[in-house]
Structure 1
Amino acid sequence: MTGSADALVLDFVEWIALKPRSHADVVETWRTSCPRLTIWEDAADAGYVARRPAAGGGVIGVTEAGAQLLRDNGRVVS
């Protein structure tokens, strides 16, 4: 991974790993006005996070690829 956007993707995946989040929480917390800075969409496109069914709607959680990304970069996987 290179660049500040990649570092933010790593931060985002780590944030999701702490606790699966609702889609609304993700959009609210990681919203940006810059069309080139699509952190959570980039993480989803790379397969690091995915929406999972849950009571009351879906949640965004870390995939095995996302957990591996965290391990590869010395981040804690819960």
Structure 2
Amino acid sequence: MTGMADPLVLDFVEWIAREPRVYSEVIATWRTSCPRLTIWEDAADRGYVARETIAGFGLIVTVTEEGEKLLREHGRLG
């Protein structure tokens, strides 16, 4: 991982890994007005998180296998 936003990307992926999050919660919690802090976009672009629609829940965000690998590599997933 390189760059200033990477520790925040790791925090973001860890937060999502705790439980699948409703998309609107993710956007409300991780929204930023700083164009240099693209945490949500970086995590999605790198394949660490994915959006999916689940009946009864709507659009949610979950951690992918690549995201779980990232967390394991940094001691954040058992």
TM-score (norm 2): 0.92
Structure 2, unpaired ranges of 5+: none
SS at match of 1:75: coil
Structure 1, unpaired ranges of 5+: none
Percent of pairs with identical residues: 66
Task: Look up the match of 1:57.
Answer: 58
Question: CA separation in 1, counterparts of 2:74 and 2:48?
Answer: 13
Question: CA separation in 2, counterparts of 1:36 and 1:51?
Answer: 22
State the 1:76 CA deviation.
1.7
Looking at secondary structure, tell me which structure has more strand per residue. 2
Aligned length in residues: 77
Question: CA separation in 2, counterparts of 1:62 and 1:23?
Answer: 13
TM-score (norm 1): 0.92
After the TM superposition, which parts of structure 1 deviate over 4 Å for at least 4 consecutive aligned residues?
Answer: none
**Map 1:1-78 → 2, pairs under 5 A:** 1-55=1-55, 56-76=57-77
